Amino acid sequence: MTTAKTGIDLATAGHRLVAPLLDALLPLGSTFSLVSLACALLIAAGHIVLSRRARGRETSPRLLLRALFPRKVWLTASSRADLVFCVFNLWVAGVLLSGALLSGEAIAVGLASALRQTFGAGPWNGAPWSLVAVVGTVLGFLAYELAYWFDHWLSHKVPLLWAFHKVHHTAEALTPLTVYRVHPIESLKFANLLALATGGVGGVLAWAFGPAWHAPQVFGQNAIFLVFVMTVIHLQHSHAWMTFAPFGRWLLSPAHHQIHHSADPAHFGKNLGSCLAVWDRMFGTLHVPGARPRDLRFGALADDPHSLTGGFATPFVEAVRGERIPAGVPLLAE
């Protein structure tokens, strides 16, 4: 009996240990799925081969492998720290913060009910499902983009919030794992702002379209967002210089986000959006990268940026201390 119980306990513990990783890698709708990572790798490889071919150069498999995984990017203290952040945010942060998150669905239901009580039935009750799906997908994606931009803008403008967001900017090399290099307070802030934005838009649409309304999703994600996950988002934290010219004033390419991470003070607070340049254009924070790769350096100035103490405890100290962001050179490395 004891042996059987021990075996069950070990199996349960093993499942709990592996589940967060499987939940991140296996579902097609995950923002860090194996499929999306494979797509990003293929796109990066194709970009390298085609770029070299345009200059009359061939690309051997060995050279391609070195170009995709350069040691100066992947074998660094910064990249090792990204892995630590990934482990912490996958296994610990989600459990700690799960009870402190607003529900976008609850906000949508409450707002729709309030609107119906105030204004009666919405104007487009009975609209065809195709219209509902298109409008819901587009407006839902724009709401996500606005929430992302506004959250990012606050993080670069408010010293208290910059203390936590700066953790992400201490990365001195960019890889797809850098997306996990975030402080739990930063994740909490964004998740709640996102719930307010998407829940607010969802509530208005639920009232406007009535019973026919539901948020159309593909694999649990907004369809437009899922396209970007499968094509662009992983490459934004990478060394691949891709500009999406001539659409650089509409779409945020990997090069746009590398500019955002640049240690050059002129680039601080630029390209704050996720996938679209719409809100950056509207609010004057867009910096369109040039066609040629730039010799950028990354990394915000911080004490011991690649340690657990520097990444998780120091931001609280800086937030309490109330350090101001110097105008023009906001704590960025020279």
Confidence at residue 275, expressed as pLDDT on a 0 to 100 scale? 97
Specify the pTM. Answer: 0.91
Q: Does the structure show a pLDDT above 60 at 150? A: yes
What are the angstrom distances between the C-alpha of 166 and each of 35, 140, 208, 268, 315? 30, 28, 40, 11, 8
Q: How would residue 215 be classed by pLDDT, with cut points 50, 70 and 90?
A: confident
pLDDT band with cut points at 50, 70 and 90 for residue 146: very high
pLDDT of residue 9: 57
Residue partners of 41: CB distance under 8 A and separation at least 6: 68
pLDDT category, 328, cuts 50, 70, 90? very low
Residue 329's pLDDT band (boundaries 50, 70, 90)?
A: very low
- What pLDDT is recorded for position 149? 98
Range from 71-75, 191-195, 215-219, 296-300 carrying the lowest mean pLDDT:
215-219
Tokens of 236: 């934004």
Confidence of residue 267 (pLDDT cuts 50, 70, 90): very high
Q: At residue 318, does pLDDT exceed 80? A: yes
Could you give the C-alpha distances from 185 to 145, 193, 327, in angstroms and in order? Answer: 20, 12, 24
In this prediction, residue 212 has a pLDDT band, given cuts at 50, 70 and 90, of confident
pLDDT at 13: 54
Helix-helix angle 104-119:184-209, to 10 degrees = 30
Determine how many CB atoms are found less than 10 A away from the CB of residue 203.
23
Maximum distance among all alpha carbons in the chain? 71
Q: Which two tokens stand for residue 124?
A: 């487009």
Which of 15-24, 139-148, 325-334 ranks highest by mean pLDDT?
139-148
Mean pLDDT of the region 141-168: 95
Mean pLDDT of 162-171: 95
Kindly tell me if the per-residue pLDDT of 222 is higher than 50.
Answer: yes
Average pLDDT over all residues of the chain: 89
Torsion over CA of 86, 88, 92 and 97, rounded to 10 degrees? Answer: -70
Lookup: tokens for 195: 């719930």
Residue type, 99: G
According to the model, what pLDDT value does residue 34 have?
A: 97
Other Cβ atoms less than 10 A from the Cβ of 13: the count is: 10
Averaged pLDDT for residues 278-291: 94
What's the start-to-end Cα distance of the chain, in Å?
64
Q: What is the pLDDT of residues 15-65, one digit of tens each?
A: 667 888 899 999 999 999 999 999 999 999 999 999 999 999 999 999 999
- For a pLDDT cut of 70, what percent of the chain falls above it? 89
Q: Is the CB of residue 136 less than 8 Å from the CB of residue 216?
A: yes
